[in-house]
Amino acid sequence: MDINSKNTLVISCSPGLNIALAHELEGLGFEIVKSDPKAVITSGSFADAMMLNYKLRCANRILWHLASFRAIHPNHLYKNAKKVRWEEILKPDGYFSIDSFTKNKFIRDTRFANLKLKDAIADRFVEAMNVRPDTGSEKDQAVIFMRWMAEEVELFIDTSGQSIAKHGYRLNPGSAPLMENLAAGIIQESQWNQSGHFVNPMCGSGTLAIEAALMASGQYPGMFRDNYAFQHLSFYDSAVWQKIKEEAKSDKESKPLGFKIIATDIDSKAINTARENAKHAGVEHLIEFVTCAFEETPVPDGGGVVLFNPAYGERMGELEQLETTYQQIGDFMKQKCNGYVGYIFTGNMELAKKVGLRTKRRMPFFNGKIECRLLEYELY
């Protein structure tokens, strides 16, 4: 197995984040082969997969292709999977887990497919080395991913293991927080160009402002994590990993920003939480936190982006109050945000009608299982 040659990389993401993820990959110099709502396909070396684990903000996992074959029965899966040189991939005294997605007439329970693959790996080890690694359900060491659709099987090394969607700096997520990768995707799909101001009223636990500050200062999510599945493979090279991290640090901007990142919330506890999370992320000094009603949010001259993530009205009795809130958000943007591009991220399009502004773009996202839109407004 040549880990230095280019191979297929399947990068999974939360539904709807594929567009932001594709733009992020193109920005890093990768060519997009295919994109669907839950994944983007590109190609790269194993070192590229390691680097993407460190740098990507919108991804869930990075899968590196190992093998493809036809299997019309679980026994065919076992026979073909056993041909893979697992002793060159996994450590004989290590640990691995198997994750899978199966959709065919042979498998009713993915655990059975996983067991056949695990048996093939274990038997290959015993025959080749007279030992075998331990296995289980934990994804904190080596992870193999299998996709078995109809009669086609694809095997991958899951280089991430535990999802990289959580960026690891939130000490306290607060109430109803955005996932970090979703916040990053929202910002990347806005028109914020990291030169104008970034204003985030109703900031909650501060995720949007923190992600903006990390982008603006050239810092990556990988700096908050010290364990990836690829580190538990037999061919893992710690020197290559150290070089990747050192090169990523060269992107860090140490000079002051030429614009403001402002995060406000009427709840002082939310502001304290946001400030603590920003401190843990190392960007507290880059964000101006203010406890105030959103209507009192300071909006500096010079333009930029103002981004709201209001409640959607999931709780009983909230809708009537939120109708007024959405109307007031529209009034605030009309009256105080001239020269800015305004955004509202919401999962309730009926409430969005109360804003009273014409949308220029409507970008689809999912927040968990809730279908949402990022609504863009030009504010003249």
* Predicted confidence (pLDDT) per residue in 336-366, tens digit: 999 999 999 999 999 999 999 999 999 999 9
| pLDDT of amino acid 315 | 63
Q: What average pLDDT score do residues 195-209 get?
A: 96
**pLDDT tens digits, 2-51:** 677 899 999 999 999 999 999 999 999 999 999 999 999 999 999 999 99
Tell me the average pLDDT of the chain.
94
Multiple choice CATH, 7-158, 2.60.40.770, 1.10.287.130, 3.40.630.40, 3.30.2130.30? 3.30.2130.30
The answer to whether residue 255 scores a pLDDT higher than 90 is no
Residue 238 has pLDDT above 80, yes or no: yes
| The residue type at 124 | R
- Map residue 197 onto helix, strand or coil: strand
Buried b (16+ CB within 10 A) or exposed e, 57-92: bbbbbbbbbbeebebeebebbbebbbebebbebbbe
pLDDT at 316 over 60: no
Q: How far, in Å, are 74, 86, 233 from residue 127 at the CA level?
A: 20, 11, 20
Strand runs labelled E in 181-303: 197-200, 261-265, 287-291
Residue 329 CA, chain-centre distance (Å), reads 28
Asked if residue 20 lies in contact with residue 185, where contact means CB atoms within 8 angstroms, the answer is: yes
pLDDT computed for residue 173 by the predictor: 78
| Structure token digits, residue 299 | 């909006």
**Cα 180 to Cα 202: distance, rounded to the nearest angstrom:** 16
Burial of 314 (0-12, 13-18, 19+ CB in 10 A): exposed
pLDDT on residue 28: 96
- Domain residue spans of the chain: 7-158, 180-219+252-378
Does residue 210 contact residue 281 with C-beta atoms inside 8 Å?
yes
The per-residue DSSP string of 261-281 comes to EEEEES-HHHHHHHHHHHHHH
pLDDT tens-digit map of 67-126: 999 998 889 999 999 999 999 999 999 999 999 998 888 777 888 889 999 999 999 999
Domain 180-219+252-378 has what CATH class?
Answer: alpha beta
Percent of the chain with pLDDT over 90: 86
Edge-to-edge strand list for the sheet holding 340-346: 287-291, 261-265, 197-200, 304-308, 340-346, 370-378, 361-367
The predicted pLDDT at position 34 comes to 96
Average of per-residue pLDDT across 213-220: 96
User: What confidence tier does 314 reach under pLDDT thresholds 50, 70, 90?
Assistant: low
Place of tokens 């041909």: 83
Dig out the tokens for 237 from the structure.
């090279």
* Domains 7-158 and 180-219+252-378 belong to one CATH topology: no
From the centroid of its chain, how far is CA 104? 29
pLDDT tier, 236 (very low <50, low <70, confident <90, very high otherwise): very high
CA angle at 38 for the pair 161 and 31, rounded to the nearest 5°: 90
Q: What mean pLDDT do residues 158-187 have?
A: 91
**Alpha-carbon span 136 to 139, nearest angstrom:** 8
